[in-house]
Amino acid sequence: MNRAITVLLFALVSLTWGTTWMAMSIASTTIPPMFATGIRFTFAAPFLILTAIWCRTPLLFPIGLRRYQAFVALFYFAIPFSLIIFGEQYVNSGLAALIFSAMPAMVLLFSVFMLNEQLRTGKIAGLLLSMTALAAILVLELDWSQSNRVAGIGALLCAALLHAYVYTRSKKRCQSVPVLTFSALPSAGAGVLLLGIGWIFEHPAVEYFSLMSLASTAYLGLVAGVFGILNYFALQQRTTAFRASLVFVVFPVIAIWVEDICTGKSLSGLSYVFLAQLIVGILLVVVPAKRASVFWITRKSKSATAIEEREKA
């Protein structure tokens, strides 16, 4: 029963993260990026705050980390998600998800410099495989003659870099902070900030907001912002960090399938080959170092045993 619940949570998180990319693409058709992101977080924040209160989870970071809570609101919620929805104006949702799936590789690089983590051979191979595969897919699938393609890719990469940096820094500074504490007030602050900035600088024409864009924004707030966070929190409690991180392998594939179903845009056969390479690369990046060491030690032990048996024979 416990295993079935874990599998269900994994599937729900993968589906949630995989479908949000198309929702962000639809939201940006009539709502400016910052204002849409502000609506998303303003809608999600009350549910997260009430859930935290109901679970008796503190809303504030521990004393000494209160300024960092504001940092999280700005550099984990406000800026990255605005960059993502901006980038999706020039890159389709499936490719945007693929670009963001490089985040574990970025986390690994930041961990090397910020947490003194050792960069083992398997992880170097994973970095090379995932990055070259992603580059190949983008070269094959994007029409580079169109304007602002580079701006869209740059925005998505910056969003992934910011998420990776804050995630790595948070592992170092506030590893004990609950997920609800990490998300509730920062998302509220990000929402209010983005609504204000968006209203002043983007001049949203509210009368032209389509029902599809508003529904997509509500979906992002309630399903991705609340349901997704709570499910991932529950998944992390039930399984290892490695198994939970496998969501990064699954959600880009779902995003590509959703893109194909909704718009008819599918990857070429060669791009699917590179997609398989990308998945292998991400797996090598997220697999725990100890697990890899045990694997190689086991192989070495088996080889040594085989040699000894041959020598005895």
pLDDT tens for 30-66 read: 999 999 999 999 999 999 999 999 999 999 999 989 9
Rounded Cα–Cα distance for residues 213 and 221 (Å): 12
The pLDDT of residue 127: 92
The reported pLDDT for the residue numbered 293 is 42
Task: Identify whether the C-beta of residue 106 lies closer than 8 Å to the C-beta of residue 160.
Answer: yes
Distance CA 107, CA 114 (A): 10
Give the Cα separation of 3 and 8 in Å (integer): 9
**Distance spanning both ends of the chain, measured CA to CA:** 48
Q: Is the pLDDT confidence value at 305 over 50?
A: no
Q: What is the pLDDT of residue 135?
A: 94
Q: Using N-to-C axis directions, what is the helix angle for 2-27 and 247-263, rounded to 10°? A: 50
Is the pLDDT score of 134 beyond 60? yes
Average pLDDT, the chain: 88
Burial of 280 (0-12, 13-18, 19+ CB in 10 A): middle
Overall residue count recorded for the chain in this entry: 313
Count of other CB atoms within 10 angstroms of residue 158: 16
Residue 291 has pLDDT above 50, yes or no: no
Percent of the chain whose predicted confidence (pLDDT) is above 70:
91
pLDDT in tens, 147-166: 788 999 999 999 999 999 99
Give the pLDDT mean for 182-197. 96
CA within 13 Å, CB half, 139: 8
Measured distance CA(171)–CA(186) in Å, rounded: 17
Q: Which of 80-84, 114-118, 163-167, 189-193 has the lowest mean pLDDT?
A: 114-118
